[in-house]
Amino acid sequence: MHTSTLRPVLKAFFALLVLAMGTWASPAAAWWQKDWAYRKAVTIDTSPSGVNVSGPIGRTLVLVRLHSGNFTFTDALENGADIRFVDSDDKNPLPYHIESYDSKNGVATVWVSLPVLNGGEKKQIWLYFGNKNAPVGEDVKGSFDPDYTLAYHFSEGPGQPTEDKTANGNNATNAPAGVEDSAIVGHGGHFVGQGGIIINDTPSLAMTPGAPFTFTAWVKPDNLTGDQQLFSRGGMVIGINAGVPYVAVGSGRAQATAAVKQGDWTHVGVVADGTTLKIYVNGVEAGAVSVALPAIAGPITIGGTLVGSLDEVRLSKSARPAAMLLAMANAEGPSTKLVGVSDTAEKQGGGGGVLFFIVSKLEPIDAGVIGLCMILLTMAVTLMVNKIRYLNAAAKGNKQFFERFNAMHEELVPLAKVQGITEPEVAFIKKASPLARLYEMGIAELDVRRNQNATRPLSGEAVEAMRAAVDAVYVEENQKLDALMVILTIAISGGPFIGLLGTVIGVMTVFGGVAMAGDVNVNAIAPGIAAALLATIAGLACAIPALFGYNYLNGRITALADQMRVFIDRLITRLAEMQADAAYAREAAE
């Protein structure tokens, strides 16, 4: 195939590629603010496909876990200051705050306040990022609704008193005994069964007779022996007795039917609605008692006799609905069924294409492997184009040479002495035609022997010597034809394995990142694996064209080599006949 024929084929191929990329792209809807380059859809799923919650939840705080599998940290500021959450209408920003953000390791936890959430729905909000000039936008205190009286993340350093994240400022007077580095969300507080942390009585913590109240916390006991108190104030105690969660107020007591697991995180909630006191375990009601809370005052102790860890301790002056506790346990726990981050990041001005999104998820090792495959593909394509050009020129030169060769019949002379041939034609034939170069060597060898032996017939040794000289040119021509063909064999055999290596490393990296983030779902795994598979695609894209090209070139090279071999036999035989005819003519003349 000539180069002029390849050009329209390549144009058609790239046109189809652009068309395909256009079909993969998904158009973006209205954009919140033009200064933000990217956005991703975040879905809160309370339908049967998610948490399967029924009933109203109201204003609630949900946890969004970000990691390298579902978020491109390199497109956001290093501290996450440009992150914004916008409601479903794509107009109203939502209060949020960042508990942890590690761009180097690709892990972040962000709390987002939803104004309204109901059971049995899929609510979509937007996560915007990619504004290098954005100021810090988080609102820690505004993330919590006014009914929260206290909220502890335990994100302080060792020895630092625990800070209340609500606007009430109900900070603890002291710090937990230690820090739990692998808490349910970021860091937690570790307790050793002595003292706990103390919160002084304040007006915002007032508990009047019959008033509603909610306590929620994640607990991980180191052992299940004895009575371990999680919360205590006046005559009210919330704890685990032999591992069984309970709440006791005066003579009223409600407890679960089964013990929690030692060393595992469990969500415990207590709700008082003025008539009934209920206890929840992992968002599910586990026990109840008909009792109204009396007036309770005085300091609060958190983790007083607990031997283990606590995280996300919250107090509310309202009776939180059961649907909220179930959503809370599922959003913050390891199942993460409530919140899902979209696979696709949309870009302002053109929408986000799946292909571009996958490429944005490439790990450096995968990008390096793909780059290596593309370099190998470029070398292979360059070689194939050059070989095709050489073979096309050789075919044209051989055709032109044969026209002159056949016209000479039995009187073979150097090309420059052929009757009617021009100098440019001679130059082209000698440059392009391998057969012409064989011919010139044969004629030169014959001239040498004529100068030595005049017109005497050639001996068998002389004929073999001439053949050996022409064969040397034949070997040189074959070496030219086979030069660098090893690049194609490397691309064919090595490209897929190089790509597979990149994919395996990429998949391993994805699973490692998911394990670090504690977020096991399709949205977390799929983008990274899809990006890792690009390395295999690159390897195959390198090997497949090289395979077809190698087979095509090998066929043409073999045909040309056979043509040269046949021509050598024909040339040597004719040259020997010419010398013999000259000898007979001389003898006849004498």
Instruction: Return averaged pLDDT per consecutive 10 residues of the chain, 590 residues in all.
Output: 44 41 44 92 92 91 92 93 93 94 93 94 94 93 96 94 97 96 93 94 96 97 96 96 96 95 96 96 96 95 97 97 93 84 79 62 83 94 95 94 87 88 92 92 87 77 90 94 93 94 88 68 69 91 95 95 93 87 70
CA–CA separation, 438 and 312 (whole Å): 87
pLDDT score for 3: 43
CATH number, domain 163-317: 2.60.120.200
**Helix orientation angle between 364-408 and 434-453, rounded to the nearest 10 degrees:** 50
Question: Which runs of consecutive H residues, i.e. helices, occur in 409-521?
Answer: 423-432, 434-453, 460-482, 486-517
pLDDT score for 551: 96
Query: 194-215: b or e for each residue (b if 16 or more CB lie within 10 Å)?
Result: eebbebebbebbebeeebbbbb
Domains of the chain, by residue range, sit at 35-147+322-349, 163-317, 365-585
- Write out the H or E segment, with its range, that includes residue 399: helix 364-408
Q: How far apart are the first and last CA of the chain?
A: 57
Single-letter amino acid, residue 512: G
The reply to whether the predicted model has a pTM over 0.85 is no
Question: Which runs of consecutive H residues, i.e. helices, occur in 151-236?
Answer: none
Judging by beta carbons within 10 Å of its beta carbon (0-12, 13-18, 19+), is residue 581 exposed, middle or buried? middle
pLDDT score for 515: 74
Judging by beta carbons within 10 Å of its beta carbon (0-12, 13-18, 19+), is residue 532 exposed, middle or buried? buried
pLDDT score for 344: 79
Judging by beta carbons within 10 Å of its beta carbon (0-12, 13-18, 19+), is residue 420 exposed, middle or buried? exposed
CA–CA separation, 343 and 353 (whole Å): 11
